[in-house]
Amino acid sequence: MYVASEKRYDKMTYRRVGNSGLKLPAVSLGLWHNFGDVDNIENQRAIMRAAFDNGITHFDLANNYGPPAGSAEINFGRIFKEDFMPYRDEIIISSKAGYYMWPGPYGEWGSKKSIIASCDQSLKRMGLDYVDIFYHHRPDPNTPIEETAHALDLLVRQGKALYIGVSNYSPEQTAAISKLFKELRTPFIIHQPRYNMFDRAIENGLTDVLEQEQLGAIPYSPLAQGLLTDRYLNGIPEDSRAHRSDSPFLSEDRVETTIGIVRQLNEVAKKRNQSLAEMALAWILQQQVVASVLIGASRVSQLESNLKALDNLDFTPEEMDEINRILESSNA
Ligand SMILES: NC(=O)c1ccc[n+]([C@@H]2O[C@H](COP(=O)([O-])OP(=O)(O)OC[C@H]3O[C@@H](n4cnc5c(N)ncnc54)[C@H](OP(=O)(O)O)[C@@H]3O)[C@@H](O)[C@H]2O)c1
């Protein structure tokens, strides 16, 4: 039987999400990869245990995580039931609807039909009564935003979700849905955007909107799926994500075109006595609006080493300049 470490709250820091009452660990764990039926269940269990033992109280899922789609929620639910049930009130679980999940007109996007059905399916797969955060995974250009907002609000009224978030929404879309949620008095607290040294799009307007609306951010793929680590410094390992053909954003080509920049960033990290992964996470956590960074891990050692980022979150102006100079010189 799993007994969580008594030291689990000793090192982690917890940051408030916008102006809500909710705090998230500075580092959260996402189950997009490595938790499907194609992955070893005992490795999944070990990663979840190591996370919680180190104060990572937040696990992020979505209806379609796997592969196959849905299997990450099923595997998470099984491990949760076997190991974590006594700790339910210490843990924040999120899921999402929006990407393709089942055939026909209701299996994706943002209609009320799709969102309510998807949340019910996720709860069933995970064996939970409620999720702590439920996200709309991507904006739907063809459904009135009012309908999507009402559907998410209803999940809260029904007790199926405590808080609401959106993901991949533009600054304008975020401001628009925030206005509706204010009218509805929905606990809309968080945005989940992609953000890392190679993708700084959120700095062009989204962070301003989040600050104005007093929302928090939980950036995903903070390590650019492993590119901002030492994983690819000496080639492309066979068991790495870039080697898997099902990885649309991280191909072997992308590794090859950006590795020169990665090596330069690695030198800056070394001077800071950090690994590149630690530096990349610390760099994101400097942003006030960021409540938590949402990492992935294929093994316990990655997770544990990434947590060392918290030991040095400060950057000198010279370090920032050097990082900016390196990034600006890249076409990544
Ligand atoms: N809302 C959305 O649209 C959306 C989209 C994508 C992701 N997400 C969420 O964000 C979470 C994190 O995304 P992500 O997995 O792309 O994050 P990431 O942290 O950028 O990448 C994780 C991968 O980086 C490698 N890695 C991590 N630490 C390492 C270390 N110390 N040394 C060497 N390699 C290391 C591993 O790759 P290997 O597998 O090669 O070992 C690991 O699987 C997802 O699980 C999901 O919850 C959300």
Could you report the per-residue pLDDT of 40-67, keeping only the tens digit for each?
Answer: 999 999 999 999 999 999 999 999 999 9
Strand partners, 94: 60, 133
Strand partners, 203: none
| Residue 27 host element (H or E) | strand 27-30
Q: Whose CA is nearest to atom 13 of ligand 1?
A: 221
Tokens 């191909």, residue located: 251
The structure tokens listed for 97 are: 């609807």
Tokens 């009452």, residue located: 21
Whether ligand 1 lies within 6 angstroms of the CB of 225 is answered as yes
Pocket test of ligand 1: the residue of 231, 249, 259, 306 to mutate, having most ligand atoms within 8 Å of its CB, is 231
pLDDT digits (tens, 9 = 90+) for 129-144: 999 999 999 999 999 9
What strands lie across the sheet with 58-60, from one edge to the other? Answer: 216-217, 188-192, 161-167, 131-136, 92-97, 58-60, 27-30, 293-295
Residue 230 CA to ligand 1 centre (angstroms): 14
| 3-class secondary-structure state, position 95 | strand
| 3-class secondary-structure state, position 227 | coil
pLDDT digits (tens, 9 = 90+) for 255-311: 888 999 999 999 999 999 999 999 999 999 999 999 999 999 999 999 999 999 999
Q: Are strands 216-217 and 293-295 parallel, antiparallel or unpaired?
A: unpaired
> Is the pLDDT at 72 greater than 80, yes or no?
yes
Q: φ and ψ at 42, to 5 degrees?
A: -70, -30
Whether ligand 1 lies within 6 angstroms of the CB of 306 is answered as yes
Whether ligand 1 lies within 6 angstroms of the CB of 295 is answered as yes
The structure tokens listed for 101 are: 């999940």
Tokens 């995580």, residue located: 65
Burial class, 127, CB count within 10 angstroms (exposed 0-12 / middle 13-18 / buried 19+):
middle
Residue 223 CA to ligand 1 centre (angstroms): 7
Q: Are 125 and 74 in contact (CB under 8 A)?
A: yes
Whether ligand 1 lies within 6 angstroms of the CB of 294 is answered as yes
Residue 66 CA to ligand 1 centre (angstroms): 14
Q: How much is the pTM? A: 0.97
pLDDT for res 248: 67
Residue 67 CA to ligand 1 centre (angstroms): 15
CA 2 to chain centre: 25
d(CA 38, CA 41): 9
pLDDT digits (tens, 9 = 90+) for 197-229: 999 999 999 999 999 999 999 999 999 999 999
Closest ligand 1 atom number to CA of residue 224: 20
HSE value, Cβ hemisphere, 13 Å, CA-based, for 285: 30
Whether ligand 1 lies within 6 angstroms of the CB of 221 is answered as yes
Closest ligand 1 atom number to CA of residue 62: 47
Whether ligand 1 lies within 6 angstroms of the CB of 277 is answered as yes
What's the CA dihedral at 83, 85, 86, 89 to 10 degrees?
A: 130
pLDDT digits (tens, 9 = 90+) for 103-118: 999 999 999 999 999 9
| Residue 13 host element (H or E) | none
Strand partners, 134: 95, 164
pLDDT for res 247: 62
Q: Whose CA is nearest to atom 14 of ligand 1?
A: 221
pLDDT digits (tens, 9 = 90+) for 147-194: 999 999 999 999 999 999 999 999 999 999 999 999 999 999 999 999
Look at domain 14-239+276-314 and name its CATH class: alpha beta
Length of the chain (residues): 332
pLDDT for res 289: 98
Q: How confident is the model at residue 330 (pLDDT cuts 50, 70, 90)?
A: confident
Sign of CA dihedral 315, 316, 321, 326: negative
d(CA 295, CA 218): 10
d(CA 100, CA 83): 30
> Is the pLDDT at 24 greater than 50, yes or no?
yes
Q: How confident is the model at residue 332 (pLDDT cuts 50, 70, 90)?
A: very low
> Is the pLDDT at 331 greater than 70, yes or no?
no
